[in-house]
Each structure stands twice: as C-alpha cells, then as structure tokens.
C-alpha cells in the first residue's frame, strides 16, 4: 500500500464528516473508500491469477490513491496470453455488477445521473455503479491501461510485436493528451494527473520494449556469428595446437 493511500482515507473521513455531519458520515465515507479499493484489489487479482496460469510471477499488488497496479515479473509476449490476462481485470468488475444487479437493482437516473438513496441499498447501488464504471474506464484504449494492452495484443496477433506496441502507444498518446486537456478544462485535476501518469508510463514501456528488441536482435546476431565463424573445412583447427 502506497503511503499516500493513508492521506486518501483521511481525506475521505474529513469529507464524510463535513458532508453528513459527525462520526456516522465519516465512518460511512471511510468504509466506502475501503470497499472501493477491495474492488480494485479484486480487479488486480483477476489479472494476477490469470498471469500465474501462464507462469508469470506477480510479487505484489500496489495500491495508490489513483488506483491499483499488479506488478508482473514480465509482460507476456504471446498476444493471446496478454489478451486474457488483461481482460480478466475488467471482467471481475462486470462479474461484481452481475452478482449485485438482481439484489439491489440500478440506481434511479442510471446511467448518466445516478441518484443514490440514503440507505444500505443506495450504498450497494453505488458499489455496482462504480464497478461498471471501473470496468469500462479501464477498457479505454490508452496504453498501458487495460484497453490499450488489449489493443496491442490484437494488433500483435497480426503485426510484429514492436510495431504493434508502437501503434498502441501512439493511439494511447493522442487519447491521453486529449483526456488530459479535457479534464484540465473540466477542472478534474485528479483525472488529468492520472492520464499524465499513463502517458509517461506508456512512453516508458515502449522504450523498454524497444531496448529489449534491440538486445534480442544483438544476441541473435551474435549467435549466428558464433555458428558461422568456424570454417567448414576438413582441416584440423590450428588453434588447438598449443605450446604443450
């Protein structure tokens, strides 16, 4: 858990105190943040458990105020593996929606202006709505968000891996810059910061993929030379006749 996460809880508590007056509002507000982040963890577990099936270790899941992140020991090169590992996260959110739906129903004003009644049922509806939103939001094709990874995996099933990454990063970059500007305009600073973070992460991952590709090309070249260097003649190699 990132240290700044504690600040988020304090902030939520304070907001709850001011909005609703007193301890009850504060408690509900803090519980809602905790429940929301439990859903984030479930989303990340969707990725992590699917990754484990492909033999990829996931040393930890990091929780930050802007969301969660499962840290993979490596990103799978195989497009089908990346596709399934990535889609598993949003599918967890949609599964939570489907499980809650028959019990709590949709909030009035759904989907654009949901209104929550001041009750336990209202809180469950809010949770349902958040999960739907979380699933959809993460499917935005802004690499390296889930949608961007799915896009890369789909491209990589037809194009060379690096080229697929380049296209996914380019599309992601254009969308991220658009979303940063739009959220600055709407004064949604949290989202503007989030997309800035995504923009930087996308560039970093492309650079890493590029470096890895160059290293692999280098070693391929070395291996080829190692194989072709010995002359294909019947003469005994001179180098073996040492001083002894």
Q: Which residue ranges make up the site for Zn ion (CB under 5 A)? A: 89, 138, 146
Q: Which is nearer to Zn ion, 11 or 54 (CB)?
A: 54
What minimum distance in Å lies between the beta carbon of 113 and Zn ion? 27
Residue with nearest beta carbon to Zn ion: 89
- For residue 23, the minimal CB distance to Zn ion (Å) is 35
Question: 3-state DSSP call for residue 175?
Answer: helix
CB of 118 to Zn ion, least distance (A): 32
Name which of 146 and 205 has its Cβ closer to Zn ion: 146
With both helix axes pointing from N to C terminus, report the angle between 189-228 and 161-185 in degrees, rounded to the nearest 10. Answer: 170
Q: Show the DSSP H helices in the chain as ranges.
A: 4-20, 22-53, 79-104, 120-138, 146-156, 161-185, 189-228
178, two tokens = 């658009």
| Shorter beta-carbon distance to Zn ion: residue 138 or 183 | 138
Shortest distance, position 197 Cβ to Zn ion, whole Å: 14
- 206: tokens are 């492309």
Largest interatomic CA distance in the chain: 94
Residues 6+ apart with CB under 8 A from 28: 16, 20, 123
């Amino acid at each position: 858990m990132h240290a700044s996460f504690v600040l988020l809880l304090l902030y939520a508590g304070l907001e709850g105190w001011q909005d609703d007056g007193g301890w009850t509002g504060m408690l509900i507000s803090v519980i809602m943040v905790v429940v929301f982040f439990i859903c984030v963890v479930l989303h990340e577990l969707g990725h992590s458990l699917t990754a484990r099936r492909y033999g990829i270790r996931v040393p930890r899941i990091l929780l930050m105020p802007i969301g969660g992140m499962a840290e993979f020991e490596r990103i799978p090169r195989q497009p089908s593996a990346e596709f399934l590992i990535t889609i598993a996260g949003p599918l967890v959110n949609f599964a939570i929606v489907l499980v809650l739906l028959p019990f709590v129903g949709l909030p009035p004003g759904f989907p654009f202006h949901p209104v929550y009644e001041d009750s336990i049922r209202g809180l469950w509806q809010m949770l349902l709505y958040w999960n739907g939103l979380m699933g959809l939001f993460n499917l935005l094709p802004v690499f390296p968000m889930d949608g961007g990874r799915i896009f890369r995996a789909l491209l990589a099933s037809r194009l060379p891996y690096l080229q697929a990454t380049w296209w996914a990063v380019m599309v992601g970059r254009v969308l991220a810059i658009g979303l940063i500007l739009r959220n600055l305009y709407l004064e949604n600073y949290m989202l503007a910061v989030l997309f800035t973070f995504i923009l930087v992460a996308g560039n970093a991952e492309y650079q890493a993929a590029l470096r890895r590709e160059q290293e692999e090309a280098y070693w391929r070249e070395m291996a080829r030379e190692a194989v072709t260097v010995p002359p294909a003649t019947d003469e005994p190699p001179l180098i073996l006749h040492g001083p002894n």
